[in-house]
Every structure is written in structure tokens, then in C-alpha cells.
């Protein structure tokens, strides 16, 4: 009798395993619970511009792709400081004419605090870099540190400036601009978003 019970135990375990497997199959065949609906969030709204920044953006659009002209201050032809002067005039700000004079006015801004409408300045290294390292090595260090170029910051590391190719957008991360960056100035006073 003991022998029969012993032999019956593996059969019992096999039967239990078979039943457990069948329950697992049945559970696997049951319909999956409904998935919660996928919620897609709308993209974040674009940063709002103040009324003065919006006017500045509109003024910059007038000059985009304007040809380069030394001493120019119109969409028919403009140089770098002429672009800054003319764009800010259109929003009611009178700035000096030259890059050096524009660099002396306004509120200094650190590169990591730039915002739309700030003016970025570059030293003569940007000109020397274009001429080649040999020519740059011939220029006195004091000369290379003088500011000689500027543009208007757009955001995301980009700025609008008048280059020999005309008014275009460039990246502050490009080597020539990164190495020649001399500072920035803020001419637009802070105003509440959507202010008047």
C-alpha cells in the first residue's frame, strides 16, 4: 500500500502541473485589459515677445539678406553696426554709429544670459581668422582684442549680422565666433510680456 501511494504522488504532481499549465494558457488567451488612452501634450508655446521685441523682430526681417555695403544703414545695403543702428532706430532707440561706440553703451550681458535682441560683439580675431593663422600672427595682440563686429542675438545660439555675403544668420558656436566673442550689450529695457 505504501508503494502505491508513493507511485501515485508523481501522477498527482503531473496532474497538478498539467492543470496549472492549462490555467496559464487560459489566462494567456483572455483579452488584455484596455489600455489607457495615449495623451499627447501639445508642443510648448513659443516664447512670447514683448511689444518692443516684436517690433525689433519685424525690423530685422526688413534687413534679412540685404547686401553688404560699408557705411550703409538701409535694406538696400548695410554694414554690421549700420544694421544694429537701423534696426534699433525702428523701435525708437538711438544708438551710436560705430561698433566701438555701440559696445560702450547699454547693459553688459554675460554670454550665458543672452536673450532675444541683445547685441553680441566680436574682436578683430574674427577678421584675422578669415585671413589665416599666418596673417593673424603678424597683428599686435592689442589690435586683435579691439571690438570690430557685432550682430543681434536671436536665441538658441544664433545671431543676425551683416557679413560680406550680406545680412545672414550665424551660430555663436562656430569656431570663429566662439573664439572672437568679446561680450554683449542689452539695449531693450525689460518689460512685461505683451506689455505696451
Contact between 148 and 124 (Cβ < 8 Å): yes
Q: For residue 80, which of 12, 177, 8 has the smallest C-alpha distance?
A: 177
User: How do residues 76-121 score in pLDDT, each as one tens digit?
Assistant: 999 999 999 999 999 999 999 999 999 999 999 999 999 999 999 9
| DSSP state, residue 61 | H
Q: What is the pLDDT of residue 48?
A: 82
Contact between 151 and 161 (Cβ < 8 Å): yes
Mean pLDDT of the 118-138 span: 74
- Number of domains, the chain: 1
pLDDT top residue among 3 and 138: 138
* Residue 185 main-chain phi, psi, to 5 deg: -135, 145
Instruction: Assess if residue 153 is contained within a domain.
Output: yes
Instruction: Assess if residue 3 is contained within a domain.
Output: no
Instruction: Assess if residue 41 is contained within a domain.
Output: no
Contact between 113 and 93 (Cβ < 8 Å): no
Instruction: Assess if residue 162 is contained within a domain.
Output: yes
pLDDT for residue 195 is more than 90: no
Q: Which residues of 56-94 are buried (b: 16+ CB within 10 A; e: fewer)?
A: bbebbeebeebebeeebbebebbbbbbbbbbbbeebebe
Instruction: Assess if residue 92 is contained within a domain.
Output: yes
Going by pLDDT thresholds of 50, 70 and 90, the confidence category of residue 140 is confident
As beta bridge partners, residue 119 has 152, 185
User: How do residues 25-61 score in pLDDT, each as one tens digit?
Assistant: 545 555 555 665 654 555 555 568 899 999 999 999 9
| 51-63 vs 80-89: helix crossing angle, rounded to 10 | 140
Instruction: Assess if residue 168 is contained within a domain.
Output: yes
pLDDT for residue 132 is more than 70: no
* Residue 64, domain CATH: 3.90.1720.10
DSSP calls for 160-185 = EEEETTEEEEEETTSHHHHHHEEEEE
Contact between 155 and 116 (Cβ < 8 Å): yes
Domain containing 174 equals 51-186
Instruction: Assess if residue 126 is contained within a domain.
Output: yes
Mean of the per-residue pLDDT values for the chain?
A: 81
State the distance between the two ends of the chain, measured CA to CA, in whole angstroms. Answer: 101
Catalytic residues, by residue number, are: 80, 149, 161
Amino acid at each position: 500500500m505504501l508503494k502505491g501511494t508513493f507511485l501515485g504522488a508523481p501522477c498527482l504532481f503531473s496532474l497538478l502541473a498539467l492543470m496549472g499549465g492549462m490555467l496559464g494558457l487560459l489566462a494567456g488567451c483572455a483579452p488584455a485589459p484596455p489600455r489607457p488612452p495615449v495623451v499627447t501634450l501639445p508642443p510648448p508655446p513659443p516664447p512670447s515677445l514683448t511689444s518692443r521685441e516684436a517690433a525689433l523682430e519685424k525690423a530685422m526681417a526688413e534687413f534679412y539678406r540685404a547686401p553688404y555695403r560699408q557705411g550703409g544703414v538701409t535694406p538696400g545695403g548695410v554694414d554690421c553696426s549700420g544694421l544694429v543702428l537701423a534696426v534699433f532706430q525702428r523701435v525708437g532707440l538711438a544708438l551710436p554709429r560705430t561698433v566701438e561706440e555701440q559696445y560702450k553703451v547699454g547693459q553688459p550681458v554675460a554670454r550665458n544670459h543672452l536673450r532675444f535682441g541683445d547685441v553680441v560683439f566680436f574682436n578683430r580675431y574674427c577678421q584675422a581668422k578669415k585671413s589665416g593663422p599666418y596673417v593673424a600672427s603678424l597683428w599686435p595682440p592689442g589690435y586683435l582684442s579691439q571690438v570690430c563686429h557685432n550682430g543681434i542675438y536671436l536665441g538658441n545660439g544664433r545671431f543676425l549680422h551683416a557679413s560680406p555675403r550680406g545680412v545672414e544668420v550665424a551660430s555663436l558656436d562656430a569656431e570663429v565666433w566662439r573664439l572672437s566673442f568679446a561680450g554683449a550689450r542689452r539695449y531693450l529695457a525689460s518689460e512685461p510680456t505683451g506689455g505696451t
